[in-house]
């Protein structure tokens, strides 16, 4: 049985406008001043970098918030959730991101691959490329971070998700030592931490159980990784979930060009994955014999 792990490179290979410069253009050319303000804020804050080759992981690495500052301002009653900065981040990672994903056209795409009938697909993508262009049934696909049509999508940095409820207590108790004690501080900070996690990032640990449930007891003889940039944001999934579960399978990494291959080679060495490498054209030919 074959498992395909799909990322944005797959959509780009099919001609979809899914790199983050298209998202920036969507905001810049938007029908409201709020969209343009949102983009200006992210640009001014150094989150978007035109030299990063449109890798979403590079952007998401930077989409992090100061956990300590966020909680302290919440404790002090500054209505941090409604402050301008947080509101603009929320627009960028949630409101307008969902709107942009829902308007991405699949029209340029044509089926290029011959996928085995019993293959399963783990996809980091939000588009419905597999369903609409390839006609793959929903039960064979897991959209790890959500999909077009959902009210909310997981987008942003996974670093923020490393903070637990217990982490919230340290700055709270620190604050309470010099201020009158109020049990409500703890509840407010914990509630806001849960809210911020939903808005600002992905939660790989919670997604691991969904992935495990999807893979079930199936035995896979091949794992084909096609499209993920294999950036810092991808590392927890491969290091803590996918490689330990699937290390007995043959792994094949598909690359776009030599620079992409070099980056992916560094990634697999860091994680300890044993894999061979092919380009997209070689993969297309190989799939014809599956």
What is the per-residue pLDDT across 129-152, written as a single tens digit (0 to 9) for each? 999 999 999 999 999 999 999 998
Among 168, 200, 232, where does a domain finish? Answer: 200
The verdict on 61 and 135 lying in the same domain is no
> Does residue 11 sit in the same domain as residue 37?
no
Q: Which of 144, 179, 200 is the last residue of a domain?
A: 200
Note down the domain range covering 174. 19-103+159-200
pLDDT of residue 155: 84
- Supply the pLDDT for residue 186: 64
Answer with the one of 171, 200, 229 that is the final residue of a domain.
200
The C-alpha angle 16, 18, 21, rounded to 5 degrees, equals 125
What's the pTM value of the predicted model, to 2 decimals? 0.83
Structure-token pair, residue 182: 């109020």
Q: Are residues 72 and 216 in the same domain?
A: no
pLDDT at 4: 98
CB proximity list for 161: less than 8 A, separation 6 or greater = 197, 201, 202, 203, 204, 205
Same domain membership, residue 221 and residue 246: yes
- In this structure, the answer to whether residues 173 and 55 fall within a common structural domain is yes
User: 289 and 145 in one domain?
Assistant: yes
Are residues 23 and 54 located together in one domain of the fold? yes
In degrees and rounded to multiples of 5, residue 123 shows phi and psi of -125, 135
One domain, residues 87 and 216: no
Q: How many CB atoms lie within 10 A of CB 30?
A: 17
| Same domain, yes or no: 269 and 226 | yes
User: What is the maximum alpha-carbon separation in the chain?
Assistant: 71
In the chain, the number of structural domains is: 2
SS3 of 18, please? coil
Per-residue pLDDT tens, the chain, 290 aa: give them.
Answer: 999 999 999 999 999 999 888 998 899 887 788 888 888 877 776 665 655 555 565 666 666 666 666 666 666 655 444 455 667 777 888 899 999 999 999 999 999 999 999 999 999 999 999 999 999 999 999 999 999 999 989 887 666 556 555 665 666 666 666 666 566 666 766 676 666 666 666 777 789 999 999 999 999 999 999 999 898 888 889 999 999 999 999 999 999 999 999 999 999 999 999 999 999 999 999 998 88
Whether residues 118 and 195 fall in one domain: no
* CATH code of 13's domain: 3.40.50
Q: What is the pLDDT of residue 81?
A: 45
pLDDT at 80: 46
User: According to the model, what pLDDT value does residue 29 have?
Assistant: 86
| Interval 253-263: pLDDT, tens | 999 999 999 99
Residues 177, 89 share a domain = yes
Cα–Cα distance measured from residue 89 to residue 95, given in angstroms and rounded to the nearest whole number? 10
Same-domain check for residues 222 and 245: yes
Query: At CA 167, angle to CA 165 and CA 169, rounded to 5?
Result: 80
């Amino acid at each position: 049985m074959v498992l395909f792990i799909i990322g944005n490179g797959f959509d780009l290979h099919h001609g979809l406008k899914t790199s983050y410069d298209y998202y920036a253009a969507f905001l810049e050319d938007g029908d409201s001043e709020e969209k343009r303000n949102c983009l200006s804020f992210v640009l001014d804050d150094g989150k978007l970098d035109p030299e990063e080759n449109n890798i979403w992981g590079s952007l998401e690495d930077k989409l992090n918030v100061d956990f300590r500052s966020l909680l302290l301002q919440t404790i002090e009653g500054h209505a941090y959730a409604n402050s301008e900065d947080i509101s603009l981040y929320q627009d960028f990672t949630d409101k307008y991101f969902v709107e942009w994903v829902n308007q991405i056209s699949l029209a340029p795409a044509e089926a290029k691959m011959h996928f085995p009938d019993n293959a399963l697909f783990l996809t980091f993508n939000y588009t419905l490329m597999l369903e609409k262009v390839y006609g793959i049934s929903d039960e064979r696909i897991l959209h790890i971070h959500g999909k077009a049509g959902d009210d909310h999508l997981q987008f942003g940095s996974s670093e923020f998700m490393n903070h637990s409820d217990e982490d919230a207590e340290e700055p709270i108790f620190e604050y309470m030592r010099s201020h009158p004690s109020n049990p409500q501080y703890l509840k407010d900070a914990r509630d806001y931490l849960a809210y911020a996690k939903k808005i600002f990032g992905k939660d790989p640990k919670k997604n691991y159980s969904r992935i495990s449930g999807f893979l079930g007891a199936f035995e896979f003889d091949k794992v084909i990784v096609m499209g993920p940039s294999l950036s810092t944001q991808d590392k927890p999934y491969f290091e803590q979930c996918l490689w330990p579960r699937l290390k007995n399978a043959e792994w094949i990494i598909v690359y776009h060009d030599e620079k992409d291959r070099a980056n992916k080679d560094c990634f697999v060495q860091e994680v300890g994955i044993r894999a061979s490498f092919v380009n997209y054209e070689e993969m297309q030919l190989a799939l014809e014999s599956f």
